Amino acid sequence: MEMELQAMYVQILALVIFAIGIIVAVSRRNVFFVLMGVELALNAVNLSFVGFAKTLPADLSIAGQIVPLFTIAVAAAEACVGLAMVIMIFRNRESVDSNDFSNLKG
């Protein structure tokens, strides 16, 4: 078997980054890390999109390369609002520990 770049490798890389992103987002308590973890996971998904797009013939492959653009835009919006919230909450509570954020609990 020739040592060429396989579509599978891209997906596996995406998977690994995604897993790390999830772990960062969930297991770290600092909200900044939570945000960063989410960004990582989103990036992994983008990568996966592009990787899959390249397995499709001609015209069909465009969609998979357009969608990441939107994802990036949404991620930007998310970061924007998320950081604003962090500022707000921090001013209220003087803390960045997500364990202290439980306003939504009934």
Partner 1 sequence: MLALIYFIILGVIAVGSALCVLLSKHPLYGALSLVVSMLSLAGIYGLLGSPFIGVVQIMVYAGAIIMLLTFVIMVLNAGRDSKTPRFDKVSLFVIPAAIVLAGLVGFVMVRSGIAFDATTLRGSVKLTSETLFNTAQEGPGYFVLFEVIGLLLLSSMGAAVLMAKKRLGTDNEEEK
Partner 2 sequence: MTNLPLWFIPLFPLIGCIVLGAIALISSGSKKGPSEGFVGALSVLFPALAFASVVLLSFNMPEGGIRATLCNWIDIPMFKVDIGFLFDALSRIMLLFVTGIGTLIAIYSIGYMHGDRGFARFFAYINLFLFSMIVLVLSDSLLLTFLGWEGVGLCSYLLIGFWNHDINNCKAANKAFIVNRVGDIGFLLGMLILCVVGGSTILNYDALTSFISSIAAGGYAEGADVVKAFFNALFTGTFTPDIVVPILSIAGLCFFIGCTGKSAQIPLLTWLPDAMAGPTPVSALIHAATMVTSGVYLLARLSTMFVQIPVILDVITWVGLLTAFWAAVAGLFQNDIKKVLAYSTVSQLGYMFMAAGVAAFDSSIFHVFTHAFFKAALFLGAGAVIHSLAGEQDMRKMGGLLKKTPVTACVMIFAFLAIVGFPGFAGFWSKDLILERLYMSGPMGPFFYVGGLLTAVITAVYMGRLIVLTFFGSYRGSKESEAHIHEAPATMLIPMVVLAFGAVFAGWLWADSMGIKYFEEMLAPVVGAAQAVLPHNAAHVNPMVFAGLGTLAALFGMGIAWAKWGKARIPAAKGSSAPQGKMATWTFFWDYVHGVVVTVVDAIAWFVDNFVDKIVQFAQWLVASIAEILGDGVASFQVRKVRLQIALSLAGVVALVIVVLLTGGLI
Provide the sign of the torsion angle of the four alpha carbons 83, 87, 92, 93, taken in this order: positive
Site residues, partner 2 (CB under 8 A): 22, 25-27, 29, 98-99, 101-102, 105-106
Smallest distance from the beta carbon of 84 to partner 2, in angstroms? 18
Q: How many CB atoms lie within 10 A of CB 7?
A: 11
Smallest distance from the beta carbon of 101 to partner 1, in angstroms? 13
Query: Per CB under 8 A, does 45 bind partner 1?
Result: no
From partner 2, partner 1, none, interface partner of 103 (C-beta below 5 to 8 A by class): none
Compute the half-sphere exposure of residue 40: CA atoms within 13 Å on the CB side of its CA.
19
Site string for partner 1, 64-103 (x = CB under 8 A): -xx-xxx-xxxxxxxxxx-xxxxxx-xxx-xxxx-x----
Question: Which class for 14: exposed (0-12), middle (13-18), buried (19 or more C-beta within 10 A)?
Answer: buried
